[in-house]
Amino acid sequence: MGRFIPLSIPNFEGNERKYVDNAIDQGWVSTGGAYITKLEQMMAEYLHVDNVAACQSGTAGLHLALISCGVEPGDMVIVPTLTFIAAVNPVKYQFATPVFMDCDDSLCMNPVKLRKFCEQECRIEDGKLVHSASGKIVKAVVVVHVFGNLADMEAIMKIAEEFHLKVIEDATEALGSRYTEGVFAGKYAGTIGDYGAYSFNGNKIITTGGGGAITAREPKEVDHIRYLSTQAKDDPHFYIHDEVGYNYRMTNIQAALGVAQMEKLPEFVERKHRNYDLYKELFSGLEHGKLLGFREGTYSNQWFYSLELDMNYLKRSLRDIILELQEQGIQTRAIWGLIHEQKPYRDEIAYEMEKAPYYSSCILNFPCSTQITEEEIKIVADAIKNVLA
């Protein structure tokens, strides 16, 4: 095997080395330093929000959001089943119970079924949504913008207001995605709900290696989250702590990478669009597969690209297709295994699953790095077409 074309890798074309070297030279390498503040300011400016807290990962951001929502042991939190498991695990960190919701054709949470669950399986009691069968309080809903495609936030926010739910946007894949039409026109992913979490993992549109960030509708909530993320220190000289804190703060080294990456974010989004358009052209007329689009009325960051395969025709497994492409030096992957089918979650409620099992069985993700070349895109498209023929 000669050339290898990876699925999604970091792009360090800017000032990354310069800023990291600067942080090292200054000796600020841990959870204090000017680059952390700079990254938070750059993100707040980009997202048009007042306050952002940088943290250790998108998962940490989601956990801190659940804490801030007041999610307690025994509470319920509505989550998608078609997502990466990190969107759901923090619910268990709070000893709460996830309720799994189906997706729609955007791969994001289905608002019709969300409403139906709230109306038919729950009741409102003392200004709280209570699950009728168990008596548990349903505190929040975690909405994932899958692959940078925005969920139907207009419908979801109406449901949340009506049924007294806090909304946590998992925008870990969607930094840069925004609405262009409707009531949220101009609003970015992660800035519509009560909280919004972002990830800078190595495969995301920008990266700090690990790392993440969180914002909230109320700027004071972000200040409190920042406080919790630094071990809830009330007096740094005498180590007084009035709350249980967490070691969830981003390091200055990570933030130095992040500042350089934020400088390139608009260009990276443009490249994602340009590359997607080329794939769209190359896959036009594709038999036995369809390139998935993005929600109308939005400008997505188009982080990941997906083919919906006709598995009935292909008569072989998705695993076989992935392995065949791997042998040709092309890295692809299936969408995630459904979370409600994973061992730790098999006993939880999975509400009217229909589309999620279908998409889980037929979605193929393929190379989409921002530095992929036109030649490589053509190689990928030709290989996929040949494998599906």
Residues 120 and 243 in one domain: yes
104 and 132 both lie in a single domain: yes
What's the pLDDT score for residue 25?
96
Q: Tell me the residue range of the domain where 374 lies.
A: 264-388
Residue 68 belongs to a domain: yes
What pLDDT score was predicted for residue 316? 87
With respect to residue 2, please indicate whether it lies within any of the assigned structural domains. Answer: no
Indicate if 145 and 258 belong to the same structural domain. yes
Distance between CA atoms of residues 221 and 51, nearest Å: 9
- Listed residues 236, 262, 288: the one ending a domain: 262
- The CATH number for 280's domain is 3.90.1150.10
Position 4 in a domain: no
268-274 contacts at long range (C-beta below 8 A, 24 or more positions apart) = 268/11, 268/176, 268/205, 268/206, 268/370, 269/176, 269/205, 269/301, 269/302, 271/370, 271/371, 272/148, 272/205, 272/301, 272/302, 272/303, 272/368, 272/370, 273/302
- For residues 319 and 241, state if they share a domain: no
Query: Do 253 and 278 reside in the same domain of the chain?
Result: no
Which residues in the chain come in under a pLDDT of 70?
1
Q: Could you tell me if 240 and 183 lie in one domain?
A: yes
Q: Does 257 map to a domain? A: yes
User: Quick one: pLDDT at residue 82?
Assistant: 98
Judge if 212 and 126 occupy the same domain. Answer: yes
The answer to whether position 11 is within a domain reads no
CA 300/CA 56 separation, integer angstroms: 25
Q: What is the pLDDT of residue 256?
A: 98
Do 172 and 315 share a structural domain? no
CB-facing half-sphere around the CA of 157: CA atoms within 13 A: 14
Contact 46, 114 (CB under 8 A): no
Assign residue 147 the CATH number of its domain. Answer: 3.40.640.10
pTM over 0.95: yes
Same domain for 229 and 366, yes or no, is no
Query: Last residue of a domain, which of 262, 295, 321?
Result: 262
pLDDT for 178 equals: 98
Give the pLDDT score at 148: 98
In a domain, 147, yes or no: yes
pLDDT score for 338: 98
